[in-house]
Structure 1
Amino acid sequence: MTTLAIVILNYNGQPFLAKFLPAVLATADGHPVYVADSASTDNSVSFLRATFPDVRVIELPRNEGYAGGYNLALDHIRTHYGGATYYVLPNSDIEVTPGWISPVLDLMEANPTIAACQPKIRSYSERELFEHAGAAGGFVDWLGYVFCRGRVFATFETDHGQYDDNRPIFWATGACLFVKAEVFHQTGGFDASFFAHMEEIDWCWRIQRLGYQVWACGQSTVYHVGGGTLHKSNPHKTFLNYRNSLLMLYKNWPADGWLWAKILFRLVMDGVSSLLFIREGQWPDVWAIVRAHFAFYGAVPKLHRQRKVLKQQQITEVKLYPKSIVWQYFAKGRKTFGEMNNG
């Protein structure tokens, strides 16, 4: 029998739980709803127990971010509740819609090689636009830059049905991620050293190397507030994004003899991007990029060991988007996924 566990990770997100959890419960289709609390200090746990008695609350001992937090939570569900066939991991700031679950489950059940899937992610504040974190499915170009159907850099498309299909993608967003439980546990879950940001891209990359697929489901839509736990203006978010991008790329980039040349290029491009922060006087973000680079240098020995293990386990090579989205977007003026694929 197919089972699903709906698992929301929470850290000081009581207002989001109050706002969005009722819709999750109303559309759960009988599936159990868990909230894993990462040692919140805002009375989230007492609020949950008093207001939502049907929610199964998991109290984690500390805040280990998205990656470590979900690893602990899903292992707890497997150990104490018998697990599930699939998990779905909606952020606490996700607004779900009626019928959001069944199209994704039907898709995954019909194709056993699908180990990760996402619905369409639209903006909570600008309802017709795709949202930054995942849009209609993510990709990685050959230089390691990530982008989505519906969102490339700062261009957000209006959703008028152009991505209502079901199709393979490179990565599915952690904002509302469906995963096959067996594969999640088999691979050790997310890389906890990432803490937050890009751990889902790293995991999607790794499972594809093992022969599994990642898909987007165009018949399901949710809305994302974004920045619910760590706002985009927070320099720590800058640090995590820049550091984790380098961690992910070193671990997973194909062994084509150009690894360090591409890493050097990314380091230089990070320096170029820091000029935008300098222009705006955002010096904490500039320092965050510097710290991210030194954190990456310190992690290289561990990353090298991980890279060797992943290479030994690999079943199939994973294809990246073969063009540079930086060149296409800034030099050729192609701002959307459709333009880039038709150009």
Structure 2
Amino acid sequence: MSTSPKVAVVILNWNGRYFLEKFLPSVYNSIYANITFVLGDNASTDDSVSFVKEYYPTIEVIENDKNYGFAEGYNQILKQVDADYYVLLNSDVEVTQNWIQPVIDLMETENYVAAQPKILAYHNKENFEHAGAAGGYLDCYGYPFCRGRMMQVCEKDQGQYDNPQEVFWASGAALFIKADAWKLAGGFDGDFFAHMEEIDLCWRLKRMGYRIGYCPDSVIYHVGGGTLNTSNPQKTYLNFRNNLLMLQKNLPFFRAVGVIFIRLWLDLLALIHFLVERKPKDAWAVSRAHQYFFLYFFRNARKRKKYKVPENKTGRYKKSIIWDFYVNKIQCFSDLPTNNFYSK
């Protein structure tokens, strides 16, 4: 009888006592034959570490010496975790009891190196959640979207995406990834700090020819914005900045030049929109993102890599999701023309 792959569920924490107390019981009661639980702590100043040590003594606690952010924080923690599969799980997630086995089975069967479960909103459990929904996609200008989530519009889950599917990126809210693939890709880009680091990682894996999947038979509920509120200008800064860094790293050179040129103008429109909406801090966040991009342009350019295999483009969208959403008024993923997606 074959042994189940060893799975390590790793929660990265920073001052998250409230979420750990609320959601750790569901995670701890997960059913899987070969599982370990790890709390990685980013130098919290609250009592979250002592809380876990007292009430969950079998959970391994690994403490970073400072707050490295989401991306580098996980890099530091996972160096010390031994498993066949890592599950990177946000602290603000409620899981269902048998949420692990279906994803592992799918990954083993389909040879996916990374995957995500169905992600529904914790505060509205009939709706998909913004950060991942039913699997991630990317349009021609680098804008991410999901099955079940177009821009800020999240669909109601009516079983319309209950088929397993190869996608372009899997959500960092509950990222299943083979440990070997994580190490081969070099983990997250620590310079991202937080936001879009999982899309960048998945893109690198796709460029290596690997496959990434979505498993509807596993369901979790995500609060979203638990660490950084969605209206926080710092989130605006990180999203705009990291998107440009990701495009520069992963697109072919001449394609990157054209796409980034267009994105800078689109970002300018976003900046003007923030000013009109009387959100000067968000407008300044976009400006800061551009300043960082140009200041560290050559450092980021050195991260560009070439791979000897054709890129797996499945999950890439050939058109602009911005145009489809605002001009063509398409707000449901299933209404997008299927011939505008790459199939391999």
Structure 1 position 342, deviation (Å):
5.2
Matched, 1:331 2:335: no
SS of match in other structure, 1:32: strand
> Corresponding residue for 2:25?
22
Matched, 1:210 2:193: no
> Corresponding residue for 2:91?
92
Matched, 1:103 2:106: no
Distance in 1 (alpha carbons) for counterparts of 2:75 and 2:212: 19
Matched, 1:132 2:167: no
Q: 2:66 aligns with which of 50, 62, 68?
A: 62
Q: 2:337 aligns with which of 319, 331, 341?
A: 341
Structure 1 gap ranges (5+) = 78-82
SS of match in other structure, 2:38: strand
Matched, 1:117 2:115: yes
Distance in 2 (alpha carbons) for counterparts of 1:150 and 1:314: 34
> Corresponding residue for 1:53?
57
Matched, 1:10 2:13: yes
SS of match in other structure, 1:128: strand
SS of match in other structure, 1:270: helix
Distance in 1 (alpha carbons) for counterparts of 2:13 and 2:242: 21
SS of match in other structure, 1:173: coil
Q: 1:285 aligns with which of 279, 282, 286?
A: 282
> Corresponding residue for 1:242?
240
Q: 1:74 aligns with which of 71, 78, 94?
A: 78
Misfit runs of 4+, over 2 Å: 317-320
The one-letter amino acid of 1:203's match is L
8 Å Cα contact 2:40/2:61 also seen in 1: yes
> Corresponding residue for 1:259?
256
Distance in 2 (alpha carbons) for counterparts of 1:316 and 1:12: 42
Distance in 2 (alpha carbons) for counterparts of 1:270 and 1:339: 26
Q: Deviations over 1:221-249 (max 9, x none)?
A: 10000111111121111110000000000
Structure 1 position 55, deviation (Å):
1.1
Structure 1 position 28, deviation (Å):
4.3
8 Å Cα contact 1:209/1:314 also seen in 2: no
Matched, 1:197 2:195: yes
Structure 1 position 259, deviation (Å):
2.3
> Corresponding residue for 2:342?
none
Structure 2 gap ranges (5+) = 340-344
Structure 1 position 202, deviation (Å):
0.3
| Coordinate RMSD, CA, aligned | 1.3
Structure 1 position 279, deviation (Å):
2.3
Q: 2:145 aligns with which of 121, 128, 147?
A: 147
Distance in 2 (alpha carbons) for counterparts of 1:116 and 1:137: 11
TM-score, structure 2 length as denominator?
A: 0.94
Distance in 2 (alpha carbons) for counterparts of 1:317 and 1:3: 29
- Change beyond 3 A, Cα 1:107–1:292: same
Distance in 1 (alpha carbons) for counterparts of 2:250 and 2:338: 28
Distance in 2 (alpha carbons) for counterparts of 1:135 and 1:272: 27
SS of match in other structure, 1:231: coil
Q: Deviations over 1:256-315 (max 9, x none)?
A: x332221111011111112232123211111111110010011211222211xx12x341
Structure 1 position 185, deviation (Å):
1.0
Q: 1:275 aligns with which of 245, 260, 272?
A: 272
> Corresponding residue for 1:80?
none
Distance in 2 (alpha carbons) for counterparts of 1:314 and 1:97: 40
SS of match in other structure, 1:232: coil
SS of match in other structure, 1:162: coil
TM-score, structure 1 length as denominator?
A: 0.94
SS of match in other structure, 2:80: helix
Q: How do 1:308-319 and structure 2 match up within 5 A?
A: 310-311=305-306, 313-319=307-313
Distance in 2 (alpha carbons) for counterparts of 1:111 and 1:271: 42
> Corresponding residue for 2:175?
177
Distance in 1 (alpha carbons) for counterparts of 2:213 and 2:239: 23
Distance in 2 (alpha carbons) for counterparts of 1:202 and 1:71: 14
Distance in 1 (alpha carbons) for counterparts of 2:233 and 2:27: 31
SS of match in other structure, 1:273: helix
Distance in 1 (alpha carbons) for counterparts of 2:335 and 2:291: 37
SS of match in other structure, 1:237: helix
Structure 1 position 89, deviation (Å):
0.8
Q: Deviations over 1:312-338 (max 9, x none)?
A: x34112423111111111111111111
Distance in 2 (alpha carbons) for counterparts of 1:36 and 1:341: 42
Distance in 2 (alpha carbons) for counterparts of 1:211 and 1:7: 26
Deviates more, 1:150-159 or 1:272-281: 272-281
Residue-pair matches, total: 333
